[in-house]
Chains A and B, each alone.
Chain A
């Protein structure tokens, strides 16, 4: 099994629908992240969480919300999906060595979302 599992891998939905992307990890990491990737572009940080009670906005949090249900689970929700949220979404985890920029990220395989 993969260390970081994302579900669903592919989803097509309609404008205005509520969508949840789920991420679970078996690495025992404290820190989890959601990124968005648009065609030909790099990754942009949506939200990140340092532990179950610590959730922070990233570069592009508008239109998104997250829930950290447990150390191993971090969900991304689109309350009312719109077409410009069509993108590839990645979840990632890292250790939480305090005050260190050395923490390495492990990414999931991605969830491709299409909003019609």
Chain B
């Protein structure tokens, strides 16, 4: 299974944009890039996913590098409720979804 690399932790101030990076240099052509987040004391929740093109939804944007070896999750205006662990995961057609340790995002008022 292809692996991802993320920083252990990041910090942001409230209402500022946050760019969470993810490296996935061994990605294959059919792997989708998924992002999930886990709020304190909750199960993970889906944030966004993409294959090749940049994606936007109500929660975030996903910017995918042209060679697909890296991607960035963008929270346009961080709020205190965005403090969570963010997981970047590659998902292939076998449908196993292997999590790493993620990035812990702290948001300060």
A contact residues, total (Cβ < 8 Å): 30
User: Which of the residues B34, B36, B43, B96 comes within 8 Å of A45, measured between beta carbons?
Assistant: B96
A107 and B32 contact, CB distance less than 8 A: no
Residue ID in chain A nearest B42 by CB atoms: A109
Report Cα–Cα, A97/B12, bound state, in Å: 37
B1 nearest CB across to chain A (Å)? 9
Cβ of A74 under 8 Å from chain B: no
Q: Mark B67-108, 1 if CB is under 8 A from A, else 0.
A: 000000000000000000001001111011111111000000
Cβ of B30 under 8 Å from chain A: yes
Report Cα–Cα, A40/B101, bound state, in Å: 8
A77 nearest CB across to chain B (Å)? 20
Report Cα–Cα, A105/B87, bound state, in Å: 13
B101 and A106 contact, CB distance less than 8 A: no
Report Cα–Cα, A92/B98, bound state, in Å: 13
Cβ of B60 under 8 Å from chain A: no
Give the chain A neighbours of B100 by CB distance below 8 A: 42
Considering residues B30, B46, B97, which has the most beta carbons from chain A within 10 angstroms of its beta carbon? B97
8 inter-chain pairs at a CB distance below 8 angstroms, sorted by A residue, are A31-B95, A43-B44, A43-B87, A96-B95, A100-B32, A102-B32, A105-B36, A108-B43
| Chain A residues near B (Cβ < 8 Å) | 4, 31, 33, 35, 40-45, 48, 50, 58-59, 90, 92, 94, 96, 99-110
| Chain B residues near A (Cβ < 8 Å) | 30-32, 34, 36, 42-46, 49, 51, 87, 90-93, 95-102
